[in-house]
Structures are given as C-alpha cells and as structure tokens.
Amino acid sequence: MSCRRAAVECVFADKGQRVSVSTHYLHQLQEQVRQARVAQQAPQPQQQIQPQPEPTPTPPPPSPRPPATFHPDCAASNESSCNLDGNEGFERNILVDGAHLVRDTDGTDAQLWYLGPSSTWSFSRRVTAYIAQNTLPPDGPTLPPNLDGAAYSSLRGMSSWNSHNPPPPPLERRDVPSLDYAIYLLNTVKFHLNQIFRFIDEASFTESIHVFHNNPAQTNLPALWHAQFLFVLAFGKAFLTKASRNPQTTPKGWVHASQAFAFLPRFHEPDQDNLLAIEVFCLAALYLQSIDMRVSAFEFAGRALRLCYVVGLHNSPPPFDATRSQATRCAHLWWSVYMLDQHLSALMGAPSAVQDADVTVLLPSSHDPSPRAAALGTNVRLSRILARLVRTVYQVRVTLDGSFLVQSQKVLQDLADISWDVHNTVGLSSRLSSHMILCYHHSVVLATRPIVMCALARFIESPTAFFKPHEPTLSATVTALLKACIESAINIIKKLQSLNQENLLETFLPFHLEQVFSSALVIYIVSAIWTDNARDWAAKEMVTDILECMIAAGHNLASLRKSELDHLAALLARLNRPASNEPSSRGMDVGAPNIDHSVATPAGPSALDDVDAIWSSMHNDNLAELAEMLNFDSTRAQTAFPLNV
C-alpha cells in the first residue's frame, strides 16, 4: 500500500514458492492429519487411518482445556476440542438457529417476516431477542415488532397507488403551486438528491414545467410526467417542512405523493417513455423507503431495475442512436438505479439483483475528467463493495467453515483500496463527500458487525471467562475486528453530529437514520460488554442529539428507532459484568492483547466539525493491515467465534 502511494516498485524477499488453496481444503487436510494422529495412538491397529501420501502441514497436538472455559486463540486443528467438547452450539451460527422470522401480530393473518442477515432492523431484532431470551422471564417486557409501515399506521393497508380505479384526470394549475414555488422546490430536491442520484433530467423536466404552467389545458404531458412532477413537489415539501414534535399521522409531502401514486401505471404501457418511467419508479421507491414502507419501496426499485434491463441501459453504447447528452443521461440513470438497488437490498437484507459481469456501460468518469464524475465512480465502487459484502460476508451457512474471515479480508482490503479516493472527495460539496464518507464507514461496520454479536453471545454465556484478568480472552484478529467496527461506528456518529450542527442532517431520506441506528447498536453493545469508557458515553449522547433532531423535524421512524435503542439499553443493563474487572481504565484493551488498530479521536469539539480531521485519523493502512492479519491468521482466528453470522 505504501509502495503504491509512493509510485515505486515493491520488492519482496523470496521466501520460496507459495501455493494458494481454499480454506475448506486446508481444513480437510488438517482433519485428515488429526484423525491419523488419533488413529496412531489407538490400541487397535486395524482402526488406524492412513495419512495422505502428500506432505501436509502438521498442526501442534491439542492441549487439554477445561470444557467451560472460553479460549478463542486455539488453532484450527483444535476445532473439535475448542468448539464442540462441552460447548454445544458454539460451532453453529447462533443467528441462524430459529431466528429467521418474526411474526406480525398487528395483521389479521399474523404473517411471518424474514429477518435478512445484513438488515440493521433485523440485527436489532435478533440482538434484543437473544438478550431477552437469556435475561428476561417469559412474561418480561417485549418490544413491538415495528414492521413495514409502523411509523405511519394510517398508511398500513392503503392501496391508492395500485387500486383498480381509472387514472385520475390530468393536473390543473390550481392543483399545484405557482411556477416560482415549483422551481424553488425543484432546486431543493436537486440539492438533496441530484448530488447522489440522477432521477430527474433537469433540462427536459424544467421545460415541461414551464409548458404546463403557461397553458395546462393545451399540454399533452403524459401521466408519468404528472407523477414525477408530484413526487418532486412531495420531496421538496418534505425537505422543507419543519414539523412539530407531535407524531404525524401522515408523512411529510404525502398530499402530493398520494396523487403521484395514482398516476403510476399498473402494467407496462407500450408507448410510454421508458427513461421517464425508470426515473419515476425510483422516486417512488425512495419516497416509500423514507416513510418506512420498505417492501413497497423494494418492489418499485426492482421494477425500475428490470425496466433498465428491458431497455438495455446496462449495456454500452446506449440501445438507440443517442446524442452525447442522451448517452450521459442513460449512463447516469443506470448507475443511479444500480446504487439505489444495492442500498435498498442491504437495508432489506436481500441479495442484489445485479450481476456485475452483465454490466458493460462505462462510468461517466471514463470520458468526463470532472471531480463530480470521479465521485460518481467512487460511489459506484462503494456500492459494489456493499453488494459483495452482503453476498459473501452475510451468506447464511449451517456450520462454521472458516469463510467469514476470508470474505471479510477481501471486503476490508477493497475498502482500504478505495479509502484514498473517498478522501479526495473532501474538496467537493459537503453533502456528496459526507455521503461517501458515511457509506465507507457504514460498510466497515457491516463487514465487522457479526463479530459484535458473537462477542455478545460469548459474554452472555460466560461473562467471567470473557473477562479473565491475566489471560487474553480475545484473539488479536478478533480484537482488531471489534476495534475497526467500533471506530467506524464512532466516526459515523461524529460525522452525522457535524452535519447536524451545520443543518445538513437528513430528516426525511432514510440513509442518515440507517447509519446512526446501525452505529448506535454496536456502540451500545460493545460498551456494555467490553469498553464502557468516556468516548462511548460521548458517542451515545451524540446519538441522542441526532435522533432528537430527526424527531423534532417530524421523523416518526426516528422515534421508533430511539425507543428500540432505549429498550436495548435496558436489556444490556441487566447483563452483569465481573466487578473485579472494571473497564473504565482499560478502554479498548480489556481482556485483549495490546495491539493498535484503533483510529485516533480528533481532540476538541471543533475537530468533530472538520471533515479533514476525521479523515486524517482514518488511514487506509489500518484496514490494509487488518486485512493482511485476517489473511495471515484466517486459519487460526476463524475458530475464535462462530463468525459466519
């Protein structure tokens, strides 16, 4: 990594020929050696198992350990004695066993909902359910499921956007704001959306607005344009409305959004403008995700993505004779749909529907040298890493096969490679650079969050063993993963607090709420079982400030997330930590080797507002070193926890 930044050729000492094999194959060889050693020591010669004729690495013999003691640093060859003997269930994924579904008790049919492994909402349900199961009586307090649409109960069951009623008549001038106000709302939407997504073709849309206001009776604008216009009004008013602290029965902008849904076609229309339809479906998906209608949002995003495939936007060149501006519009639209699908898939805990091998369209940066085009390319790379993370790190497996560290190593290495590109966007607009910085750290949290759940499970099973005062209870690799997770979570909180102080915190779009909730979960858990230092408490206070700001702006879903965090904090308070191991003076090194993969915290309150100060503390070398540690230690450290969560 240092050689690449210095633009010099790296020279490595020759250590002989290296052979790469899969972790699964290595485990098979080690198991064969172990069985051979056991057979050689058995009294019956006829039961001996002949070892493989090819030379294989010989692991050290297993050392006897008490069955109830937690020793994560045992080698891979000791998997049977470390994971199985006296520790039933330690070898399997505790989040997969009977925790896939949650029942919707509010509905008439009591439907079951799948808990996607990468979903932060699902993670919170699994964590609270696991702690409650082990600490609360059967009749103890429970948390409402807060399923799809719970933030606005009046919207549950509404079907105004897919009803059998005929399409509404075209809009009239009295149905919409004045031209000046409409342009103002359009500019507001552009400020909040167009720096990340391109769901509005500004030139054609602005021209249509003027045509509509000049003579609405003589215009022949399609129903899809009316829907897009109404979504722009809905988003614009949602961004500008300062609601009271009282819970709102309907979301901001719903008056116009409900009209927009009525204009959407139920089926594909042969003569429709497909590019406009893709834009409108994406706006619908983003609005629905913002108001906690996650399933409907996911459906509309899938509808837009599949229409992209039908049109051929994923291929290069464009599927029709296009001008340069049209080709640019198609490319921007495809990559916007791509990024939206990756984000919503991760939010839902579902695999992405995009196969990168099928995508041939070039990024705008291939012919546009502007910093904004380069930022779009970096955004796409972050989305690809997110999709790979969901597909590999969160792949559900029945038994521990050691793949978690291998996949985490690849993801963290990818993030280390891209971190300098993200850092170079600091000179762009604060909203665009903040989005990429937050997505970067959020990916680190997602890649390492399974370790937090495994540490929580081990602590609940044996808190005394977890805090052995004179013997490390966490391997160096696991400690580094936990540190990377908590440091990125704290960086997210600090960045969001900085945006809050600049009045740039998103109080309607779903991304900032998702990031603060995801970060708060790991901070709450780790501080309860491991650190509990002053920095954790400061981060918790910032979490409260951020959520209170969102609630004050009328964000009902933020109120639900705050109640879920309060419920989690009450459950974590029931966990008893050993009194002899107060962590306040040990910080991140409680019961762990003294290694440093942490991120320095900017000193002073002003540093929290400085993007450069935050980024100067987050070098990609940290993730690169951690990735190398995982690569080097994947065979040893994979038995530290049931890591494939």
Q: What is the pLDDT of residues 160-173, one digit of tens each?
A: 455 556 667 777 77
- Spatial separation of the C-alpha atoms in residues 238 and 231, rounded to whole Å: 10
pLDDT of res. 26: 66
pLDDT of res. 631: 58
pLDDT of res. 174: 78
Region 558-586 average pLDDT:
75
Q: What is the pLDDT of residues 265-295, one digit of tens each?
A: 888 888 899 999 999 999 999 999 999 899 9
User: 300-309, 325-334, 453-462, 635-644: which range is least confident on average?
Assistant: 635-644
> Token digits for 279?
């834009």
pTM for the model stands at 0.78
For residues 457 and 518, which has the higher predicted lDDT (pLDDT)? 518
pLDDT of res. 366: 81
- Spatial separation of the C-alpha atoms in residues 342 and 517, rounded to whole Å: 19
pLDDT of res. 110: 59
pLDDT above 60: residue 347: yes
- In Å, how far are 169, 222, 223, 226, 315 from 218, measured between CA atoms? 14, 13, 15, 15, 38
pLDDT of res. 267: 87
pLDDT of res. 257: 94
Q: What is the 3-state secondary structure (H, E, C) of 299-328?
A: HHHHHHHHHHHHHCCCCCCCCCCCCHHHHH
pLDDT of res. 387: 92
pLDDT of res. 109: 56
For residues 204 and 368, which has the higher predicted lDDT (pLDDT)? 204
- Spatial separation of the C-alpha atoms in residues 484 and 597, rounded to whole Å: 7
pLDDT of res. 51: 42
For residues 411 and 522, which has the higher predicted lDDT (pLDDT)? 522
pLDDT of res. 581: 45
pLDDT of res. 412: 86
Task: Of 234-238, 387-391, 612-616, give the range with the top mean pLDDT.
Answer: 234-238
- What does the radius of gyration of the chain's CA atoms come to, in whole angstroms? 27
Mean pLDDT, rounded, of the chain? 74
pLDDT of res. 291: 93
Region 38-56 average pLDDT:
49
pLDDT above 60: residue 576: yes
Region 398-405 average pLDDT:
54
* Backbone φ, ψ for residue 139 (5° rounding): -100, 20
> Token digits for 38?
């056991």
User: 29-33, 53-57, 270-274, 495-499: which range is least confident on average?
Assistant: 53-57
Residue 238 contacts residue 252 (beta carbons within 8 Å): yes
pLDDT of res. 296: 92
pLDDT of res. 356: 87
| Among 566, 562, 558, 561, CA closest to 252 | 558
Residue 375 contacts residue 432 (beta carbons within 8 Å): yes
- Spatial separation of the C-alpha atoms in residues 379 and 369, rounded to whole Å: 16
pLDDT above 70: residue 329: yes
Return the ∠ at Cα 259 (arms to 257 and 220), rounded to 5°: 120
Q: What is the pLDDT of residues 81-100, one digit of tens each?
A: 233 232 333 234 344 455 56
pLDDT above 50: residue 641: no
Query: Could you tell me the pLDDT band of residue 575, with boundaries at 50, 70 and 90?
Result: confident
pLDDT above 70: residue 101: no
Query: DSSP per residue over 439-482, as a string?
Result: HHHHHHHHHHHHHHHHHHHHHHH-HHHHT-SSS--S-HHHHHHH
pLDDT above 70: residue 244: no
Query: Could you tell me the pLDDT band of residue 594, with boundaries at 50, 70 and 90?
Result: very low
Region 433-451 average pLDDT:
91
Q: What is the pLDDT of residues 147-161, one digit of tens each?
A: 776 777 667 655 545
pLDDT of res. 399: 46
Half-sphere exposure at residue 481, Cβ-oriented, CA atoms within 13 angstroms: 34
- In Å, how far are 111, 113, 247, 555, 561 from 552, measured between CA atoms? 33, 30, 9, 7, 14
- In Å, how far are 212, 215, 245 from 220, measured between CA atoms? 9, 10, 42
- Spatial separation of the C-alpha atoms in residues 315 and 490, rounded to whole Å: 40
Region 417-422 average pLDDT:
84
pLDDT of res. 192: 93
SS3 call for 206: helix
- Spatial separation of the C-alpha atoms in residues 128 and 385, rounded to whole Å: 28
For residues 331 and 421, which has the higher predicted lDDT (pLDDT)? 331
Query: Could you tell me the pLDDT band of residue 24, with boundaries at 50, 70 and 90?
Result: low
Query: Could you tell me the pLDDT band of residue 619, with boundaries at 50, 70 and 90?
Result: very low
Query: Could you tell me the pLDDT band of residue 45, with boundaries at 50, 70 and 90?
Result: very low
User: 209-213, 316-320, 351-355: which range is least confident on average?
Assistant: 316-320
pLDDT of res. 410: 84
pLDDT above 70: residue 593: no
pLDDT above 60: residue 13: no
For residues 531 and 239, which has the higher predicted lDDT (pLDDT)? 239
